[in-house]
Amino acid sequence: MTLIGNDMVENYGVKAHFHAQFHIKDLSPLKFLFLEFALSQSGFILNEHKYCLLLLSEHGLTDCKPVSKPIDAF
């Protein structure tokens, strides 16, 4: 189950209630299939940083330098 909301006090209360009933484990921050979810002042941010690092590592490209335009335009 994923609990999402912008009222942290209410979220804590709901988690405490579920924990008392079912002995749940809080796995925060949420990570799902290499996706990371972070809470900011303006809402949630979805990030694939770890997935990109895994792809670079699998192909031996972790030491490559980033460029703004990887291929010349035709």
Range of the domain at 38: 27-65
Domain count, the chain: 1
11 burial class (0-12, 13-18, 19+ CB within 10 angstroms)? Answer: middle
- Tell me if 12 is assigned to some domain: no
- Tell me if 45 is assigned to some domain: yes
Give the pLDDT band of residue 17 (cuts 50, 70, 90): very high
Whether the predicted model's global pTM rises above the 0.75 cut: no
Look at residue 71 and tell me whether its pLDDT is greater than 80: no
- Tell me if 15 is assigned to some domain: no
